[in-house]
Amino acid sequence: MRKFRYLKEVATLELDEERCIGCRRCLEVCPHGVFAMRDGRARIIDRDACIECGACARNCPVSTVRVDAGVGCANALIIEWLHEKGLFRNRSCC
């Protein structure tokens, strides 16, 4: 996805490189090439490409990746917000 870039410096992705065991799972599941290996450990090379889908965090066997995962969908966020305010009951979305 070199062609499309979304807003910069907003992604909540964090990686504790010290605790990484080098299993490469995060590289396998990331659809945007956010991670790379260096000296047998994963590191973040392109945080701004992160879409916070949460695949890396969910698949990290030692929980070294942290991200506020969710869907980048205005419609879903509006429904969630209305739901929190008690203005909307139906939570269904695409």
Partner 1 sequence: MPQVSSQLRFADHLGRWKVRWGIGRNSCMVPPGLYAIGSPGPEAPVVVTANYKVTYDLVRSSLGGRDIWLLVLETFGINVWCAAGKGSFGTGELVRRVRQTGLEKVLGHRTLLLPILGAPGVAAHEVAKETGFEVRYAALRVADLPEYLDNGMNTTPAMRELTFTLAERLALVPVEWVLSFKFALPATALLLTVGWWLNGFSAGLTGSIAFLGAIAAGTVAVTVLLPWLPGASFACKGMIAGLLWSGCWVLWAGENLSLPTLIGSVLALTTVSSFYALNFTGSTPFTSPSGVRKEMRTAFPAMASALIIAVVLWIGV
Rounded to the nearest angstrom, the gap between the alpha carbon of residue 90 and the centroid of all alpha carbons in its chain is 26
Only one of the segments 8-16, 36-44, 82-90 lies at the binding site for partner 1 (rule: CB under 8 A); that segment is: 8-16
CA 10 to chain centre: 11
What mask of x and - would describe binding to partner 1 in positions 13 to 52, judged by CB under 8 A?
Answer: ------------x--xxxxxx---------------xxxx
* Residue 34 Cα distances to 3, 12, 89, angstroms: 15, 13, 36
Q: Is 6 in the site for partner 1 (CB under 8 A)?
A: yes
Q: Which of residues 59-78 bind partner 1 (CB under 8 A)?
A: 59, 61, 68-78
Are 82 and 90 in contact by the 8 Å Cβ rule? The answer is no
Under the binding rule (CB under 8 A), the answer on residue 54 touching partner 1 is yes
C-alpha to C-alpha distance for 19 and 31, rounded to whole angstroms? 23
What does the binding site for partner 1 look like in residue numbers (CB under 8 A)?
Answer: 1, 3-8, 10-12, 25, 28-33, 49-55, 58-59, 61, 68-78, 94
